[in-house]
Amino acid sequence: MRAAPPSGRTQQHVAVLGAGAIGTLLAEAAYEAGHRVTLCVRRAPDVLTVERDGRHRRLRLPAITTPSMVSAPVDWLLLAVRAHDTPRTLTWIRRLTGFSTRVVVLQNGVDHHERVGPLLAMGELLPALVYLSAERLGPGHVRHRWGRRIVVPAGEAGAALAELLAGTEVEVACEKDFTTAAWRKLLIGLAAGPLTALTLRRVGVLHHPDVRELARGMLTEAVTVGRAEGARLAADDVEQTLDFFTAMHPHGGTPMLRDRLAGRAVEHDLLPGAVVRAADRHGIPVPLNRTVLTLLRALDPGGTAGLQPVVPAGIG
């Protein structure tokens, strides 16, 4: 049974655009907080199932499958589609947003405003950094592996999101220096995602000395660019990121590797692409990131160039 909103908190109408792993977890949290939740999806799942700590939670939430089914703007729009799919959601966004709608962009990258802002005719955009690891096992079925934090810029909208989801499985942290936080989040995925996807190896490939040095070079370039963009980064951020890779389980995967193995397009424009675009604005050379970006773009549209039907043991 859904809990009623805590005393003094008004029930809000929350639309979740995209019911993948992250969208499902956010829909669950908003429902748990006592809000009215609507899924906006191509195909409505019969039930949402969230696996967490060996338990299964099943939810039945109303869903709409076309923008024409939107009856009125919502209070909150949680944008949880893949970044390269966002332009195709323009009609959804325009129908769901009004002057007071807050649009939370739950996507990777450091340029949320530049990518999504032009799609908004009304409403307020709130970029979000997602520290949730989850896997979509099937339609409406998600396994929550670890993490529960979302980082947003400090301010009225960020505080309102924290209040919206208070007391749920999702914790909202408001960050005064969001630019630095966004670049530090980018560093985590910048080398790990592309290098695992290109080699079709799990995270253990980053322990190889030559691959580690390539990762170090990519991260060093990104720190230079991030500082030019106003992020308070230093050489220590490179070493801390490399230490993070060392601490990861060698058989762990990355979202970009999973996308490539599944035949989906990889989101290269949000990681090395973001570094290259920012570098070009400042005239900073980034040969390693530019080369990796070129290789990722050379994959066929499905991201499966060179893949065989059977994935070797230790990779899949």
265 vs 88: CA distance, rounded Å: 15
The reported pLDDT for the residue numbered 264 is 85
Q: 92: buried, middle or exposed (CB in 10 Å: 19+, 13-18, 0-12)?
A: buried
Q: CB neighbours of 75 closer than 8 A, spacing ≥ 6?
A: 12, 13, 14, 100, 101, 102
Q: Do domains 13-176 and 179-297 have the same CATH topology?
A: no
**Vertex 225 angle, CA 107 and 22, to 5°:** 10
The reported pLDDT for the residue numbered 309 is 36
The reported pLDDT for the residue numbered 299 is 83
316 residues of the chain, pLDDT tens digit each? 455 565 556 899 999 999 999 999 999 999 999 999 999 999 999 899 999 999 999 999 999 999 999 999 999 999 999 888 899 999 999 999 999 999 999 998 899 999 999 999 999 999 999 999 888 888 899 999 889 999 999 999 999 999 999 999 999 999 999 999 999 999 999 999 999 999 999 999 999 999 999 999 999 999 999 999 999 999 999 999 999 988 888 888 888 998 899 888 888 888 999 999 999 999 999 999 999 999 999 986 544 444 433 333 333 2
Q: 206: buried, middle or exposed (CB in 10 Å: 19+, 13-18, 0-12)?
A: buried
The reported pLDDT for the residue numbered 305 is 42
283's tokens = 């005239």
Helix, strand or coil for residue 43? coil
Catalytic residue list contains 185: yes
pTM for this model (two decimals): 0.88
267 vs 264: CA distance, rounded Å: 9
Q: What torsion, rounded to 10 degrees, do the Cα atoms 218, 125, 180, 227 define?
A: 60
The reported pLDDT for the residue numbered 306 is 41
The reported pLDDT for the residue numbered 3 is 55
User: Of 185, 216, 258, 277, which residue is the catalytic one?
Assistant: 185
- By DSSP bridging, strand 55-59 and strand 48-52 are antiparallel
* Domain definitions of the chain by residue range: 13-176, 179-297
For 100-134, the DSSP string reads T-EEEEE-SSS-HHHHHGGG-SSSEEEEEEEEEEE
Third-level CATH fold of 13-176? Rossmann fold (3.40.50)
CATH 1.10.1040.10 fits 179-297, yes or no: yes
